[in-house]
Chain A
Amino acid sequence: MNAPGDEKVKIRLATTSLAGCFGCHMSFLDIDERIFELAEIAELDRSPLTDIKHFGPCDIALVEGGVCNAENVHVARELRASAKILVAVGACAINGGLPALRNRLDIDTILTRVYRDPITDQPCVPNSRELPLPLDKVYPLNEIVRVDYSLPGCPPSGDAIWKFLTDLILGRMPRLDHSLMRYD
């Protein structure tokens, strides 16, 4: 798509972690030296690996983690508005994952049980304006914003991430064969 003589335009890639454990990001780094190959063709937008504060227009966004609080909703929406292709990466983004084990419990009960004043034994739930409000449940990403693709695994292996990402970049339907397809 570049005009003759233009610098080769790089793909812009954003990544973020919502209610996840950063395992998917660690696994992303497991692509090892292939990261140099990636750096040839892609440039990072906002990501835990850069210090960019807001998402700019980007081609591909990788999202780890489900949606557990108001800040997650905000980030997910900003990213959805910025990205052409949004990928739910890993078990938590796909079905809430282990954080969603709290979904059977009432959020108020959880907070008042966990946060108690040790002396008076009264509930003392933190209520700073700095803290994002927790949601009633942990939601899979696709229940909050539109998701274009999902990449399963807890976390998906570096090889699975590489296969998926290169398929996407080359304009192919991303597919995982049996050796790369895992839900655990």
Chain B
Amino acid sequence: MDNEFTIDEQPVPFVPGQTILEAAKAAGYYIPHLCFQPDFKRHGGCKLCTVLVNGRTQTACTHKAAVGQEVDVNTPELNAMRRSLVQMLFIEGNHFCPACEKSGACQLQALGYEYEMMSPHFVELYPHREVDATHPDVMIDFNRCILCELCVRASRDVDHKEIFAVAGRGLDAKLIINSPTGKLGDSAFAVADRAAQVCPVGAIVIKRVGFATAIGDRPYDREPISAEAESCELPEVR
């Protein structure tokens, strides 16, 4: 019984210090997430990983696992909430998947599939956002940014460049770029940066490789995103 808790009534072991999400991943149990990647500081922003811990909602990517916790993950209510979150992320930006080069490799879209999102349901906001193609190797399409701050964390904590930040609040929140003109082409950003690789959606895309893998043959075309749980290694504990 030491260092064990339950997920949907199944026993799951953990290493002290691990979050519920990390322990679940290590045990091959899928908890959805968008703003979490094992290499970066926890953020707790997207709320996709919301679970019930002893009946209270918590974000599994930030909440530490503890002995005897009873965690609910895969319940109809939580899954319906996750679907609504994905729907809100869709209408808050401009997500036209048929015209997006990330389609099939996009985690937001894959979560839509996972939670049977048949439509975005809410009234479309159709915000006016720009595309920044000034950088020779990387393009940013702000229409598809979900403000997960993975690029912010990667650039700050791994690349040590602090190229990205989120400015503003609520619906006015937006990703900004640290350069004299605010354009990516005038920043110190490089295609080899970790921040160029982390975007879970089609916002930061590397030029000239977008269609190297044909649509229909991409990771989430082949397998649901929840299948990743079976192949995940134990993430490093921070």
Checking B113, B118, B126 against A178 with a beta-carbon cut-off of 8 angstroms, the contacting residue is B113
Please give me the residue from chain B that is nearest to A140 by CB atom: B124
Give every chain A residue within 8 A of B91 (Cβ-Cβ).
Answer: 95
Question: Does A44 interact with chain B (Cβ within 8 Å)?
Answer: no
Does A98 reach chain B (CB closer than 8 Å)? yes
Cβ < 8 Å to B, chain A residues 77-114: 88, 91, 94-98, 100-101, 103-104
On whether the beta carbons of A95 and B120 are closer than 8 Å, the reply is yes
| Chain A nearest CB, measured from B190 CB (Å) | 30
- Judge whether B215 and A94 touch: CB under 8 Å: no
Which of A88, A103, A151, A154 has a CB less than 8 Å from the CB of B98?
A154
**Nearest-CB residue, chain B, relative to A151:** B118
| Identity of the chain B residue whose Cβ is nearest the Cβ of A87 in the assembled complex | B118
Once A96-B124, A143-B123 are accepted as A-B contacts, the answer to whether A183 and B103 lie under 8 Å apart by CB is: yes
B32 touches A (CB below 8 Å): no
Give the contacting residue for A95; candidates B100, B104, B116, B119; CB below 8 A: B119
The answer to whether B109 touches A183, judged by C-beta atoms less than 8 angstroms apart, is: yes
Interface size class of A (residues with CB under 8 A): 20 to 34
Chain A residues with CB under 8 A of B95: 95
Task: Tell me, in angstroms, the Cα distance from A149 to B118 when the chains sit together.
Answer: 8
On chain B, the residues within 8 Å of A88 by CB distance are 119
- Chain B residues with Cβ under 8 A from A97's Cβ? 96, 98
Taking each of B97, B116, B123, B221, which has the highest tally of chain A beta carbons within 10 Å of its own beta carbon?
B97
* Cross-chain contact A95 with B112 (CB below 8 angstroms): no
With A88-B119, A183-B103, A184-B103 in contact, do A95 and B90 touch (Cβ < 8 Å)? Answer: yes
Closest A residue by C-beta to B98:
A154
Interchain CB contact under 8 A, A183 and B97: yes
Encoded as 1 (CB less than 8 Å from any A CB) or 0, chain B from 116 to 151 comes to 111111011010100000000000000000000000
Is A94 in contact with B97, judged by CB distance below 8 angstroms?
A: no
Instruction: Tell me the smallest distance from the CB of A91 to a CB of chain B, in Å.
Output: 6
Offer 16 A-B interface pairs, CB within 8 angstroms, sorted by A. A91-B96, A95-B95, A97-B98, A98-B96, A100-B126, A101-B99, A137-B126, A140-B119, A142-B119, A143-B123, A149-B118, A150-B118, A152-B117, A178-B113, A183-B109, A184-B98
B residues engaging A (CB < 8 A)? 90-91, 95-100, 103-104, 109, 112-113, 116-121, 123-124, 126, 128, 215, 221, 223-224
What would 17 more interface pairs be, CB under 8 Å, given A181-B113, A181-B116?
A: A94-B119, A95-B90, A95-B96, A95-B119, A96-B126, A97-B98, A98-B98, A100-B96, A101-B96, A142-B121, A147-B119, A152-B117, A152-B119, A154-B97, A176-B116, A183-B103, A183-B113
